[in-house]
Amino acid sequence: MTTPRIDRVLKEGEIGSTLEVRGWVRTRRDSKQGFSFIELNDGSCMGNLQIVVDADVPGYEDTIKDVTTGASVAIEGELKESPGKGQRVELQATSLRVLGTADPETFPLQKKRHSFEFLREIAHLRPRSNTFGAVTRVRNVISRSIHNFFQSRDFVYINTPIITTSDCEGAGEMFQVTTLNVDRIAEIQTKIDYAQDFFGKKASLTVSGQLEAEIYATSVGPCYTFGPTFRAENSNTTRHLAEFWMVEPEMPFYELPDDMDLAEAFIKTIIKDVLETCPEDMEFFNKRIDNTVLESLQNVLDNEFIRLPYTDAIELLEKCDKKFEYPHEWGRDLQSEHERYLTEEHFKQPVILYDYPRTIKPFYMYCNDDGKTVRAMDVLVPRVGEIIGGSQREDRLSMLETRMAECNLDPEEYWWYLDLRRYGSVPHAGFGLGLERMVQFVTGMTNIRDVIPFPRTPKNAEF
């Protein structure tokens, strides 16, 4: 007897074959004297397998009452063509075992639709729902697609540290890591002596693996990091997490246009892979979450990303008729409403903005000859906004030192980073893609807390 997952049974299960399925009951409809229908889901796909249990199945009377929504069961039977509508096959049960009951009085998941806010409070059960099952499967395919994309291009997967002591980069507020007894210190000292701490100095959770990735890009060649990233920013939005997953490729001998080419190919490949691998889940998102998702993803695949210098974008915003709440002027960063206008209304497709004012960007970006801009690029997509941020890195030692001085950074803290420019420096570039934002973009889910299994946000680290 085989024990296939339900996605296989639904797709290619042979009529007449006998098999056992295991999973969790979604619903049961029955007739006291007749028989019962069970909708079984095992997480392998969106669809449920319909199981018909006749009253003559051994132990039917005693067992069937425990087959309630949420219960886990193992059922043997013969696969038959289904006379009913809505499914190709159904399993005619010959034996029925309840592995674990789920008290219907207290089991929180109903057959009915729940709000995402409620489901977030039961993060341990929400992956058993249609939406979160689908999100989980799509997220997995995106992760696989990310590795495939880079591996097929001979990029090296590297692991940059989670704990860092470089108090740097300005990418955001950092979570501190310490083994010091801070409760005790608060009682007896006014100042903390980090020499006594685990690493002998102040340590934090990483906000980016970029600087370390540059080390490997300039030694083993094109590489990428893919791991958790932490920002202690007090951001309360639908697109920020305190702990999220980021992909950061770094390529030697790449200049900004090469970086943009790679980013565009990257996003398109992920979308293509998801559409090919998860058609049912994507159909679900399009039907139940956002009915523009499939259309907009196809639109991304069919068109070249718009590439627009920051300066031209400002000009375009000045000329357009749209009234904005916030001003836009050269030298200021674009507001969300400006970015959204460009990608959602004006171009209606992804836009890569580049050559930003150097005053609003970090120290490591390559300075253009105009003295005013740096080779930075942001990829903006409809619905989500900024999904990728990247740049060509400053590879000239003296210019990097100038920029660090401008940004009030201590060169001694970055001695190893400067060494990369001192010894065999090469042009290089890279970018960062937030995994969760990509999942949002692909699925149409509007809140980032619903595309990661266990969201970490200000005041929220349950589970």
Structure tokens at 336: 């969300």
Residue of the chain from 12, 14, 16, 34 that contacts RNA (CB under 7 A): 34
Nearer to RNA, 234 or 298 (CB): 234
* x-or-dash string of contact with RNA, 231-260, rule CB under 7 A: x-xxxxxxxxxx-x-x--------------
Residue of the chain from 88, 100, 117, 301 that contacts RNA (CB under 7 A): 117
Query: Which residue, 172, 162, 129, is CA-closest to 453?
Result: 129
Determine whether 235 is exposed, middle or buried from the number of CB atoms within 10 Å of its CB (0-12, 13-18, 19+).
Answer: middle
441: Cα within 13 Å, side-chain hemisphere: 29
Give the Cα separation of 251 and 267 in Å (integer).
17
Nearest approach, Cβ of residue 335 and RNA (Å):
3
Which residues, in sequence order, are CB contacts of 254 under 8 Å at separation 6+?
262, 392, 427, 428, 429, 430
Report angle CA 62, 67, 68 to the nearest 5 degrees: 130
Nearer to RNA, 402 or 457 (CB): 457
Nearest approach, Cβ of residue 35 and RNA (Å):
7
Residue of the chain from 11, 97, 113, 124 that contacts RNA (CB under 7 A): 113
Instruction: Evaluate the CA torsion angle 134, 140, 142, 148 in order and state its sign.
Output: negative
191 binds RNA (CB under 7 A): no
In the chain, the N- to C-terminal Cα span, in Å, equals 38
* x-or-dash string of contact with RNA, 119-138, rule CB under 7 A: -x------------------
Nearest approach, Cβ of residue 423 and RNA (Å):
27
Nearest approach, Cβ of residue 16 and RNA (Å):
15
Give the Cα separation of 355 and 425 in Å (integer).
22
* x-or-dash string of contact with RNA, 144-183, rule CB under 7 A: ---------------------------xx-----------
Size of the site for RNA (CB under 7 A): 76
Which 256-315 residues touch RNA, going by CB under 7 A? none
Q: With contacts defined by CB under 7 A, name the span among 151-159, 196-204, 311-319, 329-337 that binds RNA.
A: 329-337
Which 392-451 residues touch RNA, going by CB under 7 A? 432-434, 436-437, 446-449
Give the Cα separation of 329 and 311 in Å (integer).
9
Nearest approach, Cβ of residue 422 and RNA (Å):
25
Determine whether 32 is exposed, middle or buried from the number of CB atoms within 10 Å of its CB (0-12, 13-18, 19+).
Answer: exposed
Residue of the chain from 87, 130, 402, 425 that contacts RNA (CB under 7 A): 87
Which 200-219 residues touch RNA, going by CB under 7 A? 208
Give the Cα separation of 69 and 407 in Å (integer).
59
Nearer to RNA, 34 or 424 (CB): 34
Which 343-362 residues touch RNA, going by CB under 7 A? 360
Residue of the chain from 386, 397, 407, 425 that contacts RNA (CB under 7 A): 386
Give residue 259's region: left, alpha or beta (phi > 0; psi -120 to 50): alpha
Q: With contacts defined by CB under 7 A, name the span among 71-79, 139-147, 218-226, 334-342 that binds RNA.
A: 334-342
Residue of the chain from 2, 3, 18, 110 that contacts RNA (CB under 7 A): 110
Share of the chain residues as helix, strand and coil, in percent rounded to the nearest 5:
35, 25, 40
Amino acid at 168: C
Nearer to RNA, 48 or 349 (CB): 48
CA-derived radius of gyration, the chain: 27
